[in-house]
Structure formats: C-alpha cells, structure tokens
Amino acid sequence: MSDTRTASGQCMCGAVTITAQNMHTEVSICHCSMCRKWGGGPFLVTHCGSEVQIEPEQKVKRYPSSAWAERGFCTDCGSHFFYHMPESKEYIVPIGLFEQQQQQQQQQQINVTSQIFIDEKPDYYDFANQSKNMTGAEIYAMYAPKQD
C-alpha cells in the first residue's frame, strides 16, 4: 500500500505551482504511444487524487487527449503538469515535478511499483525495477468509459 504526503512543485519557468495534498509514494511508468509522443519517452508519474491545486490556472492549457482524460501543460514553458480523468477527478502527475520534495523527505521512500501499457513499450529501453506490469487492454478495462 502506498503512503501519501503533501507535495509541491513548479514548472521549468516557475510560472505555475502545483500542490498535491495526497501524492502517493508509488511511481508508475506509462509506455503508451501517447505518453511517449507527449514527452519523448515513458511517463513516470504518481497518483495524486483529486485534491490538487494549480496556480495560476490560466497559465495551464488542458488538452482532451482521449474520451476519458485530459493532459495539462504550462502555457509559457510547456512543462507537463498532469494527466487528469475528469469523471473520477484523479490527477496523475509527473514525479519529476516533486523532485525537491523527494530529496528533503527521504524518510518516505519513492518506489516504482507498476508499468502500464507494457505491450506498447519499444525494445530500445528497459527498466530494471521489479514491478507489476499491465497491458493496454487491462488498463482500458479499468478506466475506459463503459459503452451501453
């Protein structure tokens, strides 16, 4: 089970601050083609629940990347802020935004615990972490809106 804590971070240019009241100490790695296209490689994230403040909100562009989620980035420097599922209100945030917090709070270890869309991972990289691996089909079954 993951521990949570309050964590804050900023984009590269410092124009936007994000604060998560419940940042999980578990990291997930997404290998889907959209995440790799968005960031140039796998997306290393932590779940932050719905209690996330982003200031100033007007400096964040939200892009609807699928039927159930949107992605957000700084309008000035382009730093990635989140993958957000409006229905559940869940924010999934790049762990790198919280790097300073990690160094200051070593008593709570940050660990990679899962890799998703493992079936889309290209062969040119690999992570040594022992983690739960899930395919795209398994993720869609968990999160995609049900069709009636």
Please state the domain extents for the chain: 4-132
**Parallel, antiparallel, or unpaired for β 26-30 and 43-47?**
antiparallel
Q: Any bridge partners for residue 26, and if so which? A: 111
**101-131 pLDDT per residue, tens:** 555 555 468 889 999 999 999 999 999 888 9
Instruction: Name the nearest CA neighbour of 122 among 32, 46, 38, 39.
Output: 32
Between CA 113 and CA 83 the distance in angstroms is 18
**83-98 pLDDT per residue, tens:** 999 999 999 999 999 8
Between CA 125 and CA 93 the distance in angstroms is 22
| Cα-only R_g, the chain | 15
**21-42 pLDDT per residue, tens:** 999 999 999 999 999 999 999 9
Which of 2.170.150.70, 2.60.40.10, 3.30.420.40, 3.40.50.1360 is the CATH number of 4-132?
A: 2.170.150.70
- Above 90 in pLDDT, residue 54? yes
